[in-house]
């Protein structure tokens, strides 16, 4: 089948996000013709959204700590990241004329903070390399004799390719193209696909109407969140989150969302504890709360003695029994470990990213689906997850590059047969 020389062969990359574009770059740099197909009117829509508040491209923390963010899938992702990790990604951005800097938290951003200049320069370079883009092409699977089927505004289009890279994202933000419709198409072919689940997501809490109306949209900071897994392992982290009409979301929640989600799946709910006064120990709180408040209200007493006000005071009123406010020991204990019961993760379409996808066990070392020779997978279509902080994008870039290089190796091998 593959008797053509490399420069006579064509590769279809389905998905125009970071993983797909990186695969296209790796392939086109070696003279192979690449056609990128995307269901949306333009490429990189989720990438641009991710950069709306400042594009967090990667993270500058030490290698071992960085790799630990990928949890159980670290063994599969580590070689990909060794080949194209944070430093290589920053060098790549520099080649496109985009300088980066390390923020105070270790997160890496473009100097301009925006995604659009990087994407614009990247697309220009890809077009200069001969990559062709086909927008509003929604993949429908395979037709007879292995043809690729696409729904387009002009009707169904079928084509052949010497190799295919699937990089259509997970199931979060379907309005931007990642709708997970591919799951069924691959499952029909017998490919092992783990169910898509929300990652980096918010959680539902049964707020009272009063609390919801008054405090939805308010940030809670600084605060320390902790919870204990069934194994006894304790997670504890300081940061901030935001109260929503349905529950909670934000960076502190996202950092532990995988463990919280899995605990809810196993037990039906999970209780987290909030330390609303980090830096003040329990005895000191009891001492401050025991001081006479005279004619001052409890709200004024909390604010003047401990600095608890606004949404933090609202949380106490929402959770702590009224009678406990008169007992300094109980109120202080609640301030240091306020229990919140999370009952469900928010829906997948609201999540920043998704867990689940094509199992690594279904792939070879080059990210080719064993059951579908010549078909490769990359990015969020693969079964891995990571917290926000640059880890998601870095692995998408690294896996896209690995899939692209895998395509080249496979084409060379097939041509030599």
Give me the pLDDT at residue 4, please.
52
Give me the pLDDT at residue 3, please.
45
Give me the pLDDT at residue 291, please.
87
pLDDT tens digits, residue range 35-66?
A: 999 999 999 988 888 777 789 999 999 999 99
Give me the pLDDT at residue 298, please.
84
Give me the pLDDT at residue 415, please.
52
Give me the pLDDT at residue 135, please.
96
Give me the pLDDT at residue 2, please.
45
By C-alpha distance, which of 111, 92, 3 is closest to 51?
A: 111
Read off the pTM.
Answer: 0.90
Give me the pLDDT at residue 229, please.
85
CA distance 225 to 184: 38
**Domains of the chain from N-terminus onward:** 6-199+353-415 (3.50.50.60), 203-345 (no CATH)
CA distance 278 to 142: 56
Q: SS3 of 415, please?
A: helix
Do residues 248 and 205 lie in contact, with contact meaning Cβ atoms separated by under 8 Å? yes
Q: What are 164's two structure tokens? A: 């295919």
Give me the pLDDT at residue 299, please.
85
Helices within 273-376 (DSSP H only): 282-290, 298-306, 310-319, 328-336
Give me the pLDDT at residue 15, please.
96
Neighbours of 154 (CB within 10 A): 7
Q: Report the DSSP beta bridge partners of residue 219.
A: 242
Spans in the chain with pLDDT lower than 70: 1-7, 414-417
Give me the pLDDT at residue 1, please.
41
Do residues 146 and 136 lie in contact, with contact meaning Cβ atoms separated by under 8 Å? no
CA distance 357 to 380: 7
Do residues 38 and 355 lie in contact, with contact meaning Cβ atoms separated by under 8 Å? no
CA distance 48 to 252: 23
CA distance 103 to 360: 33
H or E element at residue 81: helix 74-83
pLDDT tens digits, residue range 116-174?
A: 999 999 999 999 999 999 999 999 999 988 899 999 999 999 999 999 999 999 988 78
Tell me, rounded to whole angstroms, the distance of Cα 225 from its chain centroid.
20
């Amino acid at each position: 089948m593959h008797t053509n020389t490399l420069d006579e062969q064509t590769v279809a990359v389905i998905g125009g996000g970071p993983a797909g574009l990186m695969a296209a770059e790796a392939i086109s740099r070696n003279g192979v013709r690449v056609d990128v197909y995307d269901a949306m009117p333009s490429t990189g829509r989720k990438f641009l959204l991710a950069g709306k508040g400042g594009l967090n491209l990667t993270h500058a923390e030490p290698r071992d700590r960085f790799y630990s963010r990928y949890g159980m899938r670290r063994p599969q992702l580590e070689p990909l990241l060794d080949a194209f990790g944070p430093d290589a990604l920053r060098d790549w951005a520099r080649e496109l004329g985009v300088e980066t800097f390390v923020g105070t938290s270790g997160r890496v951003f473009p100097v301009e903070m925006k995604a659009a200049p990087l994407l614009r320069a990247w697309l220009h370079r890809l077009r200069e390399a001969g990559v062709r883009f086909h927008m509003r092409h929604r993949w429908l699977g395979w037709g007879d004799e292995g043809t690729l089927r696409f729904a387009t505004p002009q009707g169904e289009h079928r084509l052949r390719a010497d190799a295919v890279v699937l990089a259509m994202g997970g199931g979060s933000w379907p309005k931007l193209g990642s709708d997970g419709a591919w799951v069924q198409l691959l499952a029909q072919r017998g490919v092992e696909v783990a169910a898509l689940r929300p990652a980096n997501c918010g959680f539902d809490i049964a707020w009272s109407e009063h609390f919801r109306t008054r405090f939805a949209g308010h940030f809670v900071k600084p605060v320390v969140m902790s919870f204990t897994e069934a194994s006894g392992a304790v997670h504890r982290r300081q940061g901030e989150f935001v109260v929503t009409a349905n529950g909670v979301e934000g960076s502190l929640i996202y950092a532990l969302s995988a463990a919280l989600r899995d605990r809810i799946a196993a037990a039906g709910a999970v209780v987290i504890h909030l330390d609303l006064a980090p830096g003040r120990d329990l005895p000191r709180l009891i001492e401050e709360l025991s001081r006479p408040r005279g004619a001052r209200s409890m709200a004024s007493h909390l604010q003047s003695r401990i600095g608890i006000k606004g949404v933090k005071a609202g949380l106490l009123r929402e959770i702590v029994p009224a009678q406990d406010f008169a007992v300094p020991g109980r109120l202080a204990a609640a301030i240091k470990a306020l229990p919140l019961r999370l009952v469900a993760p928010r829906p997948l379409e609201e999540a920043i990213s998704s867990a689940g996808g094509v199992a690594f066990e279904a792939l070879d070392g080059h990210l080719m689906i064993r059951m579908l020779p010549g078909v490769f997978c990359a990015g969020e279509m693969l079964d891995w997850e990571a917290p926000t902080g640059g880890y998601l994008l870095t692995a998408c870039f690294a896996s896209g590059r690995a899939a692209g290089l895998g395509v080249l190796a496979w084409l060379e091998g097939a041509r030599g047969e």
